[in-house]
Amino acid sequence: MDLQGFGHLLISGTWVTIQLALSSLLVGLVLGLTGAAAKLSKNRVARWLATGYTTLVRGLPELLLVLTIYFGGSQLLMWIAGGFGYTEYIEIGPFVAGVAALSIAFGAYATEVFRMAMMEIPKGQWESGLACGMSTPRTFFRIILPQVWRLAIPGLGNLFQVLLKDTALVSVVGLNDIMRQSQVAISSTKEPFTFFMVAAFIYLLLTAATTGFTMFMERLANPAARGNRG
Amino acid sequence: MTWEWDVIWKYFPRLLEGAWLTMELVLISGLIGIALAIPLSLMRASTRPWVKALPFAYIYFFRGTPLLVQIFLVYYGASQFEAVRESVFWPMLRQPYWCAIIAFSLNTAAYSAELFRSAIQAIPTGEIEAAEAMGMNKSTQIRRIILPRAFGIALPAYGNEVILMLKGSALASTITLLDLTGMARTIIARTYTPLEMFLAAGVVYLAISALIIALFRFMEYRFNRYQYYHHTETPVDLDPQLRDPHIDQK
Domain of residue B168, CATH code: 1.10.3720.10
* Confidence band of B216 (pLDDT split at 50, 70, 90): very high
pLDDT of residue A230: 46
Q: Distance (Å) from the C-alpha of residue B227 to the closest C-alpha of chain A?
A: 23
Burial of A156 (0-12, 13-18, 19+ CB in 10 A): buried
Is residue B234 domain-resident? no
Is residue B233 domain-resident? no
Is residue B247 domain-resident? no
Residue B170 lies in domain: 5-124+133-227
Instruction: Taking residues B43-72, report their average pLDDT.
Output: 92
Which of B65, B67, B115 should we substitute to test contact with A (largest number of A Cβ atoms within 10 Å)? B65
CATH of A15-221, one of 3.40.1190.20, 1.10.1740.10, 3.40.50.300, 1.10.3720.10: 1.10.3720.10
Which amino acid makes up residue A106?
A: F
Of A166, A172, A192, the CB nearest to B77: A192
User: How many residue pairs from chains A and B have C-beta atoms closer than 8 A?
Assistant: 117
Polymer length of chain A: 230
Is residue B249 domain-resident? no
Does the predicted model carry a pTM greater than 0.90? Answer: no
CB contact under 8 A, B72 and A196: yes
Confidence check: pLDDT of B108 > 80: yes
The torsion defined by the Cα of A46, A48, A99 and B165, in degrees rounded to 10, comes to 160
Q: List, for residues B126-161, the tens digit of each pLDDT value.
A: 999 999 999 999 899 999 999 999 999 999 999 999
CB contact under 8 A, A75 and B202: no
Residue A62: in which H helix or E strand, if any? helix A62-67
CB contact under 8 A, A72 and B195: yes
pLDDT per residue rounded down to tens, chain A (230 residues): 677 788 889 999 999 999 999 999 999 999 999 999 899 888 999 999 999 999 999 999 999 999 999 998 888 888 888 888 887 888 889 999 999 999 999 999 999 999 999 998 898 998 999 999 999 889 988 888 888 888 899 899 999 999 999 999 999 999 999 999 999 999 998 899 999 999 999 999 999 999 999 989 888 887 776 665 54
Question: What residues in B contact A204, CB-CB < 8 Å?
Answer: 60-61, 64-65
Rounded to whole angstroms, the Cα distance separating B157 from B122 reads: 13
Check: CB of residue A92 under 8 Å from CB of residue A74.
Answer: yes
* Confidence band of B83 (pLDDT split at 50, 70, 90): confident
* Nearest C-alpha neighbor of A60 from the set B198, B177, B70: B198
**What 3-state DSSP class applies to B130?**
helix
Task: Classify A133 in phi/psi space as left (phi over 0), alpha (psi -120 to 50) or beta.
Answer: left
Question: What residues in A contact B195, CB-CB < 8 Å?
Answer: 68, 72, 75-76
ipTM of the complex model: 0.88
Is residue B245 domain-resident? no
Q: Distance (Å) from the C-alpha of residue A85 to the closest C-alpha of chain B?
A: 14
Cα separation values, B96 from B65, B66, B101, B189, Å: 20, 18, 9, 20
The count of structural domains within chain B is 1
Segments in chain B forming alpha helices (H): 5-44, 49-64, 67-75, 82-86, 90-93, 96-122, 125-133, 138-141, 147-168, 180-191, 194-223
**What 3-state DSSP class applies to B32?**
helix
Q: Distance (Å) from the C-alpha of residue B226 to the closest C-alpha of chain A?
A: 26
* Nearest C-alpha neighbor of B147 from the set B138, B159, B134: B138
Phi, psi of A145 (to 5 degrees): -55, -45
pLDDT of residue A116: 92
Of B66, B166, B173, the CB nearest to A165: B66
CB contact under 8 A, A168 and B70: no
Confidence check: pLDDT of B13 > 90: yes
Confidence check: pLDDT of B2 > 80: no
